[in-house]
Structure 1
């Protein structure tokens, strides 16, 4: 279970229910799906998106079963994108276990991601959710796909810049965080101004989360990250720490290495040294702080209740995380 919510037993209990709903939803006559997907659920992940949905829901009229089902949908949607990501990136590790594409092959992984998407649609039909919620869920799926295509189009681009990076991160990561908090507030019938504030909070937390994720790729290892370190760099996805370092490297040493036909371990090590030399990680962390402080400002606009402080504490914890 996620370390993020360990100090909030009420949320932890509901997230356990969410996991049970997810496990129930993947059962079918084909035993493979349970065998392949259950480890991803059991090994957890941070469960941030369903957790945020539950939290924003508590600002209004909250119905536990209805919200936990919707939270499970959001997490299964996230998992589906991860399964497909691992195919494209040829990743061998996901949540500290062998990825589906590595263990079962790309064909099975494609069908697994599709199956998870289909289960999301079935689960959304089980309750009378607001049409705006359903519309926004559909829009975010589209945004995620467009974000992935943008990212793929910018592979190995040494002219990658901050603006392009934000477009990708906002479409991929921030959109789903924003959706989670928005939908929770919408379904609990919060006022429109509060619902929109939650969407802004989610966007800013999502952007900060992605930037921290990217800088940890330059600082962490496989075990702490739960996935392969430096995978983005190897596959040609140049993220914010590297972008900042490239822009400060007037000798073009980083570009020369990146333009090599194949990056070996020595090349990777040299790039990590140069990113550190040009303070790429430090600058990226400062940008993550700016997004987090924007989230704090938005959180202050929420009605006063105990959950308001919880959201702020979690945003702070995400900025300081090492995993």
Structure 2
């Protein structure tokens, strides 16, 4: 198994569990096979670049919580399902890199820098088309196809809403949570409950996994946003304040907008933190007004809600592993 690609999380014990491994990568290569060289190269980059494979890992762990066994009759379908989850994620990243004008992804030159905009966008669409073909061959595919389609639409809406909010300076907690649900939580929600759809599980089991994925995803993105404002630049590998410079109000900034310094913080957001010392001022205010601690408390609440949702299932190594993934968001530093 290619353990090196999997997340390094305190308390995460994957020994004896089915994870995205060599069989998963073989499935990826098979689905992404193309006679068009540029598409094939992008597909191979996707397989070999690895990444943490968190989303397909969640799918395979959820499958095992539901009783699927590596090597069992249902496992090949679970592997194919986890590949579909990763393909939806990868297609969105190809589009995101172009939107964000990113130079690198996982230490490599981004596809649109290497091949151009058209190739990158069409390769992402190719991945979406291929995953639909895989879904069509799985048991319970109508429900799965609806779930993937809904997740894809929510992802698109979240990305566009993020730009809309910044353009209109329409800052609110409702908009923020819709954005981060689309950016991150919708796909983890899909990753977690799709195995229940494939196996035809009871509604309460499906709903528990849906809740786990959604709340874990929200905690994950909120922690990323907090680190963007208050993280250690050496640990996170980028300058802090990126969201402020893009006019994006994240949870701690929204808390400040409600307080006595709200007008000042709004002015900084609206000028995209272009003034000298703007980022430093907002980070200082976040600490001074306790927005950092209140954000951390909300992240903890979301993570604990995710973990609590798993209590409908019997204790197992797979359930413990899912819980460890969510628990990591409490106090993550990079």
CA 1:174–1:259 in 2, change beyond 3 Å: closer, same or farther?
closer
Alignment partner of 1:60 is 2:67:
yes
CA 1:257–1:212 in 2, change beyond 3 Å: closer, same or farther?
same
Larger deviation, residues 267-276 vs 18-27: 267-276
Match of 1:101 among 107, 112, 116: 112
Residues of 2 paired with 1:227 and 1:168: CA distance?
22
Shift of 1:266: 4.3
Paired position in structure 2 for 1:114: 125
Q: Secondary structure at the match of 1:315?
A: helix
CA 1:220–1:34 in 2, change beyond 3 Å: closer, same or farther?
farther
Match of 1:301 among 312, 324, 329: 312
Paired position in structure 2 for 1:28: 34
Paired position in structure 2 for 1:90: 101
Paired position in structure 2 for 1:3: 7
Match of 2:48 among 37, 42, 50: 42
Residues of 1 paired with 2:256 and 2:287: CA distance?
8
Superposition TM-score, scaled by structure 2 size: 0.85
Shift of 1:76: 0.9
- What value does the CA root-mean-square deviation take over the aligned residues? 2.7
Residues of 2 paired with 1:137 and 1:143: CA distance?
10
Paired position in structure 2 for 1:238: 249
Residues of 1 paired with 2:303 and 2:199: CA distance?
25
Q: Secondary structure at the match of 2:166?
A: coil
Shift of 1:225: 4.5
Q: Secondary structure at the match of 1:3?
A: coil
Q: Does structure 2 retain, via aligned residues, the 8 Å contact 1:151–1:168?
A: yes
CA 1:156–1:276 in 2, change beyond 3 Å: closer, same or farther?
farther
Residues of 1 paired with 2:26 and 2:237: CA distance?
22
Paired position in structure 1 for 2:201: 190
Larger deviation, residues 169-178 vs 64-73: 169-178
Mapping of residues 1-323 of structure 1, within 5 Å = 1-4=5-8, 7-11=13-17, 13-58=19-64, 59-62=66-69, 63-220=74-231, 224-225=235-236, 230-250=241-261, 252-260=263-271, 263=274, 266-323=277-334
Residues of 1 paired with 2:220 and 2:56: CA distance?
15
CA 1:234–1:14 in 2, change beyond 3 Å: closer, same or farther?
same
CA 1:16–1:228 in 2, change beyond 3 Å: closer, same or farther?
farther
Shift of 1:242: 2.1
Q: Secondary structure at the match of 1:155?
A: helix
CA 1:101–1:272 in 2, change beyond 3 Å: closer, same or farther?
farther
Larger deviation, residues 312-321 vs 51-60: 312-321
Q: Does structure 1 retain, via aligned residues, the 8 Å contact 2:246–2:272?
A: no
Larger deviation, residues 158-167 vs 215-224: 215-224
Residues of 2 paired with 1:35 and 1:279: CA distance?
48
Q: Secondary structure at the match of 2:121?
A: helix
